[in-house]
Amino acid sequence: MNREEARERARELVGKMTLEEKASQLRYDAPAIERLGIPAYNWWNEALHGVARAGQATVFPQAIGLGATFDEELLHEIGGVIAEEGRAKFNAYSKQGDRDIYKGLTFWAPNINIFRDPRWGRGHETYGEDPYLTGRMGVNFVKGIQGDGPYMKAAACAKHFAVHSGPEELRHEFDASVSAKDMEETYFPAFEALVKEGKVEAVMGAYNRTNGEPCCGSKTLIEDTLRKKWGFEGHFVSDCGAIQDFHMSHGITASPKESAAMALNAGCDVNCGNTYLHILSALQDGLVTEEAITDAAVRLFTTRYLLGLFEETEYDRIAYDKVECREHLHLALKAAEKSFVLLKNDGILPLRKDKLKTIGVIGPNADSRQALIGNYHGTATEYVTILDGIREYAGEDIRVYYSVGAGLFQDKTEQIALPHDRLSEAKIVAQHSDVVILCVGLDETLEGEEGDSNNSYASGDKVSLKLPDSQLALMEAVAETGKPVILCLCAGSDIDLSFAGEHFNAVLQLWYPGAQGGRAAAKTLFGEVSAFGKLPVTFYETLEELPEFTDYSMKGRTYRYMEKKAQYPFGFGLNYGKTAVKEAVLKDGQIEATVENKGEFDTEEVVQVYIRCEDSQFAPPNPQLCGFKRVFVKAKESVSVEIPISPRAYTVVDEEGNRFTPGGAYTLYVGLGQPDGRTEELIGSKPVALQKNMDKEV
């Protein structure tokens, strides 16, 4: 069914409704209209990295880990699996008459906000700090979810539009002041890509204001930008409780009915919350028209028709046994393997089973399910912690010792014990081990969404790049034993790894790797796979080099605008091979490169292309990502790879927010990371630099 046919059928159905019935359908928990054969429908469902909050589902790595894969095809495949499991669950629940929250087919994912500041607690819900990477990963995720059949498999939603990335503590009242240049250069591109290329069915507004307008009631954002400029044809949904913020927190309106009117008139179709209960009062007072109510209802029923909810479709036959089936679990395992980022390795990795008699697994995240899942997660039948995975992989021939070592952030593990009550045990385990796997980091209780976390703000944001004091003491105690140490970090954001970099033999960033994460970690540590990813965010040396958290200017933020050397740069990551880009040429609008692996291990590698406009005052100060491709390279062999470069890569944005192609000279860098000194220092090679002069081609 095409959109025009779906829209016509939606108009016909909505035309049969009373005014009250039409208004009722703008709620996220839309009631049934039995006389018209319309069942109840709850628009609120989550699928950030698997179907969430509705029982069993395959739990993939958290979004930031998926971003680290730099693998568009993988994101497309994961999106398809999520939609398939969503359909299977929807079909089964519907047969039970269960149409509750989290059981529909409209998934409020992906989160494509830009992770511009490492303090933001929800940053791990995103694909990182780069607009191009975020757009490519997001487009493929959306296409995977929605499918390419005559009906949508499920509906995706790009959130949170626009300019939303903390502080969580202030989000209900905060006004993000953003220049036209930063808006077009950083905050808009991923949303534009998902609308224009991904054909995303829904867009969700943010809690905050942007340049004075509440995002869920902004004609500038919803009508002028989304619908008129970009041609968005789907529906717009508010974040949950965001419309009541208009009068309760932002002070933009004086009453619920004024807030409801402001949102509806701006083009917000679904209210997650209860403020649209005042729509009819707003109509009585002349604040909205019946036409506006009708238009919103038509857009919503267009989506329901596109999902095939009023006729039989091929998706009705998707059975419940697809949920957490073997193929889907294998994909989750593969995704975890591709998401890990190897930040340091002095040669200790990969481990060899035949050289080890004992392994010590230490740390609060070693046997933690919480450290696997991130937030907005489903429920897995099996959770394989890092300890589980290592013990399973080690088998009977290697003794595995374990100590929690410390609380995640508490100074003791037993209430009436003295502080640091597990440090002695950690030292004993280390002393009895040939090698130590030290598992530290955070989980969703320390970084996450406002209201869901337990840190010092109770907001979910971080106040420091350092790990909690309990874990710093544990790291120091283990280092003092003199044993070889591999640090495994479960966290969704930049963590200060200066101590680990100086004192430990290897550092492996695991993010929140999903329910199969421990099994993937073990396979990686022992060298069965070398499928590492790259950092989708910058690891800074200190927070002091960054502007204030509330400053939304991009100056000094992210790899594109930063002025100092990174601890670990965006795009960086090692592997078990010895890879380099041997040669590259620019031909017919694409990069043709040769990747060589001189090492002893087969490995996957991510070839990255960065571009700098040399002649325009409006170009970002540092080269920016404009292409990437993941490839598999066997030991002692080379492979060729083709990476298309969009004409958009040659554009810049002026201070008024106008994007244009200035012509002149450009440098493209083809390598395994950024063309910066720190990356060169870490990987030991430079990218291939290519020159292009647009003026000569005119």
DSSP string, 619-684: S-SS-EEEEEEEEEE-TTEEEEEEEE--GGGG-EE-TTS-EE---SEEEEEEESS-SSHHHHHHHS
From 117, 239, 269, 388, active-site residue = 239
- DSSP result, 379-402: B-S----HHHHHHHHHTTSSEEEE
What Å distances lie between residue 588 and 416, 500, 584, 694, CA to CA? 70, 45, 13, 13
Res 694: pLDDT: 86
Give the whole-angstrom CA distance, residue 557 versus residue 538.
9
Beta bridge partners of 628: 608
Res 261: pLDDT: 98
Give the whole-angstrom CA distance, residue 282 versus residue 263.
11
**Which H/E stretch holds residue 592?**
strand 590-597
253 in Cβ contact with 259 (< 8 Å):
yes
Res 598: pLDDT: 97
* Structure tokens given for 610: 């960065």
Parts of the chain with a pLDDT under 70: 451-458, 696-698
* Structure tokens given for 360: 């010590």
Residue (of 498, 508, 480) closest to 345 by Cα position:
508
447-475: string of b/e by CB count within 10 Å (b at 16+)? Answer: bbbbebbebebebbbbeebbbbebbebbb
Beta-sheet strands, E only, within 483-589: 485-490, 506-509, 579-587
Read off the amino acid at residue 477. A
- Residue 551 annotated as catalytic: no
Residue (of 130, 117, 147) closest to 67 by Cα position:
130
- What percent of the residues of the chain are helix, what percent strand, and what percent coil, each to the nearest 5? 35, 20, 45
Q: Count of CB atoms within 10 A of residue 20's CB?
A: 9
| DSSP class of 220 | I
Burial of 224 (0-12, 13-18, 19+ CB in 10 A): middle
Res 459: pLDDT: 74
Q: How crowded is the C-beta side of 347, counted as CA atoms within 13 Å? A: 1
Residue (of 345, 344, 330) closest to 58 by Cα position:
330
Res 623: pLDDT: 98
**Would you call 687 helix, strand, or coil by DSSP?**
coil
Give phi and psi for 236, each to the nearest 5.
-115, 135
211 in Cβ contact with 178 (< 8 Å):
yes
541-567: string of b/e by CB count within 10 Å (b at 16+)? Answer: eebeebeebeebbbeebbbbbbeeebb
Give the whole-angstrom CA distance, residue 90 versus residue 38.
16
Sequence-ordered alpha helix ranges (H) in 189-347:
189-196, 219, 245-248, 256-266, 279-284, 290-306, 326-339
Residue (of 162, 237, 161, 155) closest to 201 by Cα position:
155
The secondary structure of 136-163, three-state, reads: HHHHHHHHHHHCCCCCCCCECEEEEECC
Beta bridge partners of 163: none
**Would you call 14 helix, strand, or coil by DSSP?**
helix
Read off the amino acid at residue 227. R
The helix-helix angle for 469-480 and 423-431 (nearest 10°) equals: 30
Residue (of 44, 73, 72, 75) closest to 61 by Cα position:
75
- DSSP result, 559-573: HHH--S--SB-TT--
Res 452: pLDDT: 65
475 in Cβ contact with 311 (< 8 Å):
no
What Å distances lie between residue 41 and 44, 78, 105, 333, 685, CA to CA? 9, 25, 9, 33, 55
* Structure tokens given for 430: 């280390």
103 in Cβ contact with 90 (< 8 Å):
yes
Q: Indicate the pairing of strand 603-613 with strand 652-653.
A: unpaired
Res 657: pLDDT: 98
- Cα of first residue to Cα of last residue in the chain, in angstroms, is 43
Name 37's Cβ contacts closer than 8 Å, sequence gap at least 6: none
Give the whole-angstrom CA distance, residue 8 versus residue 150.
16
159 in Cβ contact with 108 (< 8 Å):
yes
Sequence-ordered alpha helix ranges (H) in 15-71:
19-24, 63-68
The model carries a pTM of 0.97
